[in-house]
Structure 1
Amino acid sequence: MKQNISTYKAYRIENSGNSYKGSVKNMELGTLAKDEILVKVHYSSLNYKDALSASGNKGVTRNYPHTPGIDAVGIIEKTNNNSLKVGEEVIVTSYDLGMNTNGGFAEYIQVPAEWAVKLPEKLSMKEAMIFGTAGLTAGMSILRLTELIKPEDGKIAVSGATGGVGALSISILNKLGYYVVAITGKTTEREYLTHLGAKEIIFRNEIENLDKKPLLKPLFAGAIDTVGGVILENIIKSTNAMGVVTCCGNVASPKIDLTVFPFILRGVALIGIDSQNYPMKYRAMVWDKLACEWKPNALSDNYSEVKLKDIQPKIELMLKGKLKGRTIISIID
């Protein structure tokens, strides 16, 4: 018989003036609204948005105290929705989770049922969070890229290569037979990137310092860019005729300074990836692929695991750009 739970633990970010601090607090469960579900969280994961939310970035989270965590996986404890049943294992990522809705850094989340994807049979809960939003974003990027670019077409560049999206993109593309060129600012991570499947490594300053011409020598058949700014500009200018570049991040800059020449003289396609509100039909498709033919052989080599109480040091490393791979949070003892 299930226990009647009224309180739960959550990693709460509280503010005092301009200072933001996180700690584990006891929270009370609310009443489920129509079409909501209550999920007992087993794992969450740390993403850049979580680090921003935990440091008081009002572009991510408007009001505090707040529970970050844009990723969660667990078991439905209660439901007010006919399509999902108590006991089903579900993944909840993105939408407003962890932004202005209390997120996955907690023992329970209470969310609209339409945010949940049933956990694929061939994916464990831990594996789902090693992927998390980073893996989903990588998968969305790869889905769009592989629609138009095949392994025989040439090299694929991946920027921000040691980050969550970049590292998983390299692993998946390598498994699919693509020749991957990793772009990174971390000169000490050559061995790590090679282990993921990168065949070549280009350091960030080499890409940033390319010529300012509107078109550059073609180097890549396609690319997955996770950082934006000058790196994205120069990747686009260095992409082959009829190449494809996906973009999903702006940590370097949200701005790009380009002419239309790569697009109208080479036919390069630039595809934006919106992982937050990606349509559920395609979201479920990507999760199914991640569970099966896209699952990297070395997926378990690409993460570290912490408890709720030990999140803060990882957040600080992420904000400094010193975290590599994925960090998952084990909620169940």
Structure 2
Amino acid sequence: MSQSFSAFVVDKKADQHTVEIKQLELGNLPKEDVLIKVLYSSVNYKDALACTPDGKIVTAYPFIPGIDLAGVVVSSKDHRFKSGDQVIATGFEIGVTTFGGFSGYASLPGDWIVPLPSQMTLEESMIFGTAGFTAALAIAKLEQNGLTPEKGKVLVTGATGGVGTTAVAMLSRLGYDVIASTGKSSQADYLNQLGATAVLPRTAIYDGKIKALDKTQFAAAIDPVGGNQLASLLSKINYGGSVAVCGLTGGSKVPTTVFPFILRGINLLGIDSVYCPMPLRKTLWNRMATELKDSQKLAMIKKEIPFQALPEVLPKLLEGNSVGRIVVKMV
């Protein structure tokens, strides 16, 4: 089958680095078991890094970024999928070592593909994307470690980002008292509309000083920030509480002490959405389609752009001014 399509291609030769929309053929794609017509993708921080010369995401060029995609199966050698099936693919090696979602078509292993839940649209799946899936996984891990709405306030840091906004909306829908932390004070009303009962400046969590133990304030936290802020918020978690850490926008080093762990029994939970096992992945996507989904709030989180706008939008994501989720309409 010969068919041309548009793809967002990153290339690097010697000192020359280019990002452009190009016309490719199906033969340019890897020969995996399932061919998908991509209808939606989304923009993530990792995608923006993949488009920079020194982003340390792409290892072989030319390359098609895009760690999220949703679309319709065109053909399949995998018995689990047939032509016409609506599917989602996030994580694994998509958009990192395997051509990703910023493309008219994607060729992927069946083991990386999730059937679209019946109560979710393809567009909704990409409003969630990796960010929403990460938030859902963090909530599930916190619940496994004893979190319930009755336990107290749940803090979400980096609350205007993709993980943050989806986490606030999900936790609110489940009945939690959600406290949002952000460096964007102008977005307080927006976060309140998503379900936050209070919005704190990031300085309320980390003011430049890290205490071994501080006054307890939160039953749990979802933290995509890391760094000094994570070290500081650990000292503010209630006895037996947990922090789900899922990012490092504030840095990769966490200068904490053992005291929150050995004197208050705090749990530090690592959240890896990339290689999450498929059974749990499917369970979470089905939960995201039902009890974790608020369609009105999803619409608030979403900003939709056409595929052709990617070259302009991606660099801006690295400036840290993005709010919510950017969905890419491929056709």
TM above 0.5, yes or no, is: yes
Moved more, 227-236 or 116-125: 227-236
2:137 is aligned, of 133, 137, 140, to 140
Structure 1 residues 267 and 18, CA gap change in structure 2 (3 angstroms): farther
Q: Given residue 309 of structure 1, which amino acid in structure 2 is its aligned partner?
A: Q
Gaps of 5+ in 2: none
CA offset digits 1:171-216 (Å, max 9, x no partner): 0000111011111111211111111111111111232216432111
Aligned residue runs from structure 1 range 306-321, under 5 A: 306-321=305-320
CA offset digits 1:128-166 (Å, max 9, x no partner): 000000111011001111231111111100011000000
Aligned residue runs from structure 1 range 221-232, under 5 A: 221-232=219-230
Structure 1 residues 19 and 151, CA gap change in structure 2 (3 angstroms): farther
Q: Given residue 127 of structure 2, which amino acid in structure 1 is its aligned partner?
A: I
CA–CA distance in structure 2, aligned partners of residues 137 and 80 of structure 1 = 29
Match of 1:86 in 2: 83
Aligned residue runs from structure 1 range 86-235, under 5 A: 86-147=83-144, 148-209=146-207, 211-235=209-233
Q: Given residue 76 of structure 2, which amino acid in structure 1 is its aligned partner?
A: T
Structure 1 residues 47 and 37, CA gap change in structure 2 (3 angstroms): same
Aligned residue runs from structure 1 range 243-262, under 5 A: 243-262=241-260
Q: Given residue 317 of structure 2, which amino acid in structure 1 is its aligned partner?
A: M
CA–CA distance in structure 1, aligned partners of residues 216 and 258 of structure 2 = 16
Q: Given residue 89 of structure 1, which amino acid in structure 2 is its aligned partner?
A: Q
Match of 1:29 in 2: 26
SS of residue in 2 equivalent to 1:244: strand
CA–CA distance in structure 1, aligned partners of residues 320 and 30 of structure 2 = 39
Counting aligned pairs with the same residue, the percent is: 39
Aligned residue runs from structure 1 range 267-306, under 5 A: 267-296=265-294, 297-306=296-305
CA–CA distance in structure 2, aligned partners of residues 83 and 109 of structure 1 = 17
Contact 1:33-1:80 within 8 A present in 2 as well: no
CA–CA distance in structure 1, aligned partners of residues 218 and 251 of structure 2 = 22
TM (norm. structure 2) is 0.95
1:325 equivalent in alignment to 2:321: no
Q: Given residue 158 of structure 1, which amino acid in structure 2 is its aligned partner?
A: V
Q: How far does residue 235 in structure 1 lie from its aligned partner after superposition?
A: 1.2
Gaps of 5+ in 1: none
SS of residue in 1 equivalent to 2:205: helix
Q: How far does residue 7 in structure 1 lie from its aligned partner after superposition?
A: 2.0
CA offset digits 1:83-126 (Å, max 9, x no partner): 21121111010111111211100110011110000000000000
CA–CA distance in structure 2, aligned partners of residues 205 and 167 of structure 1 = 19
Contact 2:158-2:182 within 8 A present in 1 as well: yes
TM (norm. structure 1) is 0.95
Contact 2:30-2:99 within 8 A present in 1 as well: no
Q: Given residue 119 of structure 1, which amino acid in structure 2 is its aligned partner?
A: L
CA RMSD of aligned residues (A): 1.6
CA offset digits 1:216-239 (Å, max 9, x no partner): 110100000001001111111110
1:62 is aligned, of 59, 77, 91, to 59
- Count of paired positions: 329
Moved more, 225-234 or 205-214: 205-214
Q: Which runs of 4+ in 1 moved over 6 A?
A: 31-35
CA–CA distance in structure 2, aligned partners of residues 26 and 302 of structure 1 = 31
Structure 1 residues 213 and 31, CA gap change in structure 2 (3 angstroms): closer
CA–CA distance in structure 2, aligned partners of residues 145 and 88 of structure 1 = 33
CA–CA distance in structure 1, aligned partners of residues 31 and 23 of structure 2 = 25
CA–CA distance in structure 2, aligned partners of residues 305 and 72 of structure 1 = 14
Q: How far does residue 13 in structure 1 lie from its aligned partner after superposition?
A: 1.5
SS of residue in 1 equivalent to 2:126: helix
Q: Given residue 259 of structure 1, which amino acid in structure 2 is its aligned partner?
A: T
CA–CA distance in structure 2, aligned partners of residues 222 and 257 of structure 1 = 19
CA–CA distance in structure 2, aligned partners of residues 33 and 250 of structure 1 = 31
Match of 1:9 in 2: 6
Match of 2:42 in 1: 45
Structure 1 residues 237 and 210, CA gap change in structure 2 (3 angstroms): farther
Q: Given residue 192 of structure 1, which amino acid in structure 2 is its aligned partner?
A: Y
CA–CA distance in structure 2, aligned partners of residues 32 and 303 of structure 1 = 29
